[in-house]
Amino acid sequence: MFKLYRSPHFTAENMTLRDVYWHCVQVNEDSDYCTLRNLVMWDAGEGPVKVTSPGHSGPYSDYGLIEDCVIGYTTQGMRDVVEGIDIVGSVGWVIRNCEFYNVTKGPDPDLVGYGFFAKGNSQDTVVEGCYFENCDIPLSFGGGGTAPEWFRDGDMTYEHRGGIMRNNVVNGTKDVAIYMNSAHDFKVYNNTLWSTFAGYDSSIDSRFNSSGEIANNICSQYYHLRDGGAATEHHNLWHASLSLFEDPGSGNFHLVSGATSAIDQGADLTADVPTDMDGQTRPIGAAVDIGADEYRTPTFSDVTDAHWAVRQVEACAAAGVVGGFPDGTYRPSLPVTRDQMAVYISRALAGGDEFVPTGPASATFSDVPTDHWAFKYVEYAAAQDIVAGYDDGTYRPTIQVDRAQMAVFIARAVVSPTNRPDLPGYSPPDTPTFPDVASDHWAYKYIEYIAQPSVAVIGPTSSSPETRWPSMSREHLTCLYSPPVGHCGINLLSKVRR
Ligand SMILES: [Ca+2]
Ligand SMILES: [Ca+2]
């Protein structure tokens, strides 16, 4: 679908590329600094990403970056050559935070597909933070070997030199999880490898003239040095138990609090592995953990590192905008009501709960009297022109906030104080951004306002904010306040008036 030839600094992002005959992206000679970001690459005839150059002579395609991509097949690959990412004769590629599914040639044990490999005298490849589910051999330096004419600079001494695999999770295989084939000086650090091939008790193989270091990994099986392959190994958990993990059945290989054989038991490799698969700085606690996850005692017991909005919830909790319940939970899916919304808005606007004023002597709204638990917050939000009552003088504090109301609150909070509350000076576009928010929708102006790239990121523009989230819950709420993570979050914490 994209074929690069002498095209450095190419970037493709935010697309789905699928059902192509050969490759989704083919990076040919002299195309350095290719970036593939936030792509879905699905059911390609042969490997979704292929990086090759004209053999011995170059020029080569180096220093590429593939991150936040989803790569795989609905059931399995249908052609002879099945890979996820195939890199030949290239230097300095980084594969980061990608997910790989069903890169397999099916049940025949003699037919093997690779989730990722780099070979042909490739060098210094980094594979980190990736998740591999049901791939025959998920990770390899060296792959199945390279024909002589394709080795970089004609140097056939090694298939791969240097490089590191760190913080990756493997969930299901048809062979080993990591295969080193003529890979010189490799590092395999802090991976969680659930290899499941019953016929061979090995999560990691080092074969032929491979050499390197294997440390801080959690593995379901053992490792093997074959045909002269070498490695030093230390601080690994071999034949580990699934009870170490939160919910491995759904791919959640975060450590549980009782995983004492892994937590704080790793070697200090922070020079090479400064963070974990969540992006958290290592170590947390007394020492580095073994495996891809560094365990963190969650602020709220029901928002662990596996929760999709954990970073947003933590950011809001740290800023004093949200709090938990007395039992230590956050209850992320609980709907947000108008009184609660006033609390969050007021805390953010005032710069913390302690700066929200106590409110006027008499109540503005008949149903939020001075002794109402949210009185001072509702009054403050009303005084700031963020919230308004109904025509009958009520505030209706227990009504759930929907996304249209949310857009109004956010838009009023984001704009400069002199422009509130009706966004004077802002004209919404003639053509609606969202198919279910027509230009005569009562909140049209506000929803379009916060959908502007300069103001907010509220999800892919092809889908509607209201159909995606019909009502607000406490997890969605935090996304509006915290720095963007992927497509979620508008960083209201940085935009509100303090
Ligand atoms: Ca630790
Ligand atoms: Ca973690």
Of 191, 220, 255, which marks where a domain is finished?
A: 255
In 3-state terms, what secondary structure has residue 369? coil
Q: What is the pLDDT of residue 57?
A: 87
Query: Number of structural domains, the chain?
Result: 2
In this structure, the answer to whether residues 322 and 242 fall within a common structural domain is: no
Please, what sign has the CA dihedral across residues 262, 267, 271, 272?
negative
In a domain, 300, yes or no: no
In a domain, 240, yes or no: yes
**Mean pLDDT across the chain:** 88
Q: Which helix (H) or strand (E) holds 476?
A: helix 474-481
Q: Which helix (H) or strand (E) holds 407?
A: helix 403-414
**pLDDT tens, position by position, 264-300:** 999 999 999 999 999 999 999 999 999 999 999 999 9
In a domain, 289, yes or no: no
Is the pLDDT score of 361 beyond 60? yes
In this structure, the answer to whether residues 247 and 393 fall within a common structural domain is: no
φ, ψ of residue 70 in degrees (nearest 5): -110, 125
User: Pairing relation of β-strands 183-189 and 211-215?
Assistant: parallel
In this structure, the answer to whether residues 332 and 426 fall within a common structural domain is: yes
Ligand with minimal distance to 285 CA: 1
Per-position DSSP letters for 426-438, written without gaps between them: ----SS-SSTTS-
**CB contact at 8 A, 296 and 282:** no
For residue 469, how far is its CA from the centre of ligand 2 (angstroms)? 27
Of 219, 240, 255, which marks where a domain is finished?
A: 255
Residues in the chain: 498
In a domain, 297, yes or no: no
Residues around the ion ligand 2 (C-beta < 5 A): 276, 278, 280, 293-294, 305
Q: Please name the residues in contact with 254: beta carbons below 8 A apart, sequence gap of 6 or more.
A: 245, 246, 293, 295, 304, 305, 306
CATH of the domain at 59: 2.160.20.10
In this structure, the answer to whether residues 392 and 480 fall within a common structural domain is: yes
In a domain, 296, yes or no: no
Q: What is the DSSP letter of 390?
A: -
> pTM to 2 decimals?
0.81
Is the pLDDT score of 460 beyond 50? no
**pLDDT tens, position by position, 61-87:** 999 999 999 999 999 998 888 999 999
In this structure, the answer to whether residues 125 and 226 fall within a common structural domain is: yes
For residue 293, how far is its CA from the centre of ligand 1 (angstroms)? 9
In a domain, 231, yes or no: yes
In this structure, the answer to whether residues 249 and 352 fall within a common structural domain is: no
Ligand with minimal distance to 216 CA: 1
Burial level of 137, CB count in 10 A (0-12/13-18/19+)? buried
Ligand with minimal distance to 260 CA: 1
In this structure, the answer to whether residues 249 and 317 fall within a common structural domain is: no
In this structure, the answer to whether residues 217 and 319 fall within a common structural domain is: no
In a domain, 489, yes or no: yes
Of 212, 240, 255, which marks where a domain is finished?
A: 255
In this structure, the answer to whether residues 338 and 236 fall within a common structural domain is: no
Residue 145 CA from chain centroid, whole number: 31
Ligand with minimal distance to 254 CA: 2
Residue 347 CA from chain centroid, whole number: 29
CA 183/CA 54 separation, integer angstroms:
22
For residue 242, how far is its CA from the centre of ligand 2 (angstroms)? 17
Binning pLDDT at 50, 70 and 90, where does residue 46 land?
Answer: confident
In a domain, 325, yes or no: yes
Domain carrying residue 403:
310-495
CA 338/CA 345 separation, integer angstroms:
10
Please, what sign has the CA dihedral across residues 259, 263, 269, 274?
positive
In this structure, the answer to whether residues 386 and 237 fall within a common structural domain is: no
CA 165/CA 231 separation, integer angstroms:
14
User: Pairing relation of β-strands 245-247 and 252-255?
Assistant: antiparallel
* Of the candidates 349, 345, 328, the residue with the CA atom closest to the CA atom of residue 336: 345
